[in-house]
């Protein structure tokens, strides 16, 4: 199984500042023949279903504000929120869909400082 490890576990950032969440996979999730990284990012708020933010490691989902961006390749990935807004308080998860079982990171709790 591919193990996904996020860092940090929690993060407090002032409003308007940059927030960065890292995700590392135990093996590459890059499908080299397609040059696609099978990596997604989700936002999870209490009482709501997960919301897809980013897929293929860097493609922003329709309707997601452009302050959210994803980067990385192979085993190391980053979710960046360029200017933190109050509504971004949530837990963020990375997830690999390269191989079954599809595994999630442990989550990063993002708060306002």
Which residues bind to another protein, rule: CB under 8 A?
38, 40, 42, 44, 48-52, 55-56, 61, 93, 95, 97, 100-107
Residue 14 or 65 with smaller CB distance to another protein: 65
Q: What is the DSSP string of 20-40?
A: EEEEEESS--EETTTTEE-EE
For the chain, the distance separating the N- and C-terminal CA atoms, rounded to the nearest angstrom, is 36
Residue 75 or 93 with smaller CB distance to another protein: 93
Residue 19 or 57 with smaller CB distance to another protein: 57
Closest CB 17 distance from another protein, rounded Å:
25
Closest CB 24 distance from another protein, rounded Å:
16
What's the CA gap between 36 and 47, in Å, rounded? 32
Closest CB 97 distance from another protein, rounded Å:
5
Phi-psi category of 106—alpha, beta or left, where left has phi over 0 and alpha has psi -120 to 50? alpha
Closest CB 16 distance from another protein, rounded Å:
28
For residue 81, which of 11, 27, 3 has the smallest C-alpha distance?
11
């Amino acid at each position: 199984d591919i193990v996904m490890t996020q860092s940090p576990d929690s993060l407090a950032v002032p409003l308007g500042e940059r927030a960065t969440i890292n995700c590392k996979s135990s093996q590459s999730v890059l499908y080299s023949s397609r040059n696609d990284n099978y990596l997604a990012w989700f936002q999870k708020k209490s009482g709501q279903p997960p919301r897809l933010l980013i897929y293929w490691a860097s493609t922003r989902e329709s309707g997601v504000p452009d302050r959210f961006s994803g980067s990385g390749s192979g085993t190391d990935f980053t979710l960046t929120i360029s200017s933190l807004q109050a509504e971004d308080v949530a837990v963020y998860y990375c997830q690999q869909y390269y191989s079954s079982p599809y595994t999630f990171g442990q989550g990063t709790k993002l708060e306002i400082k």
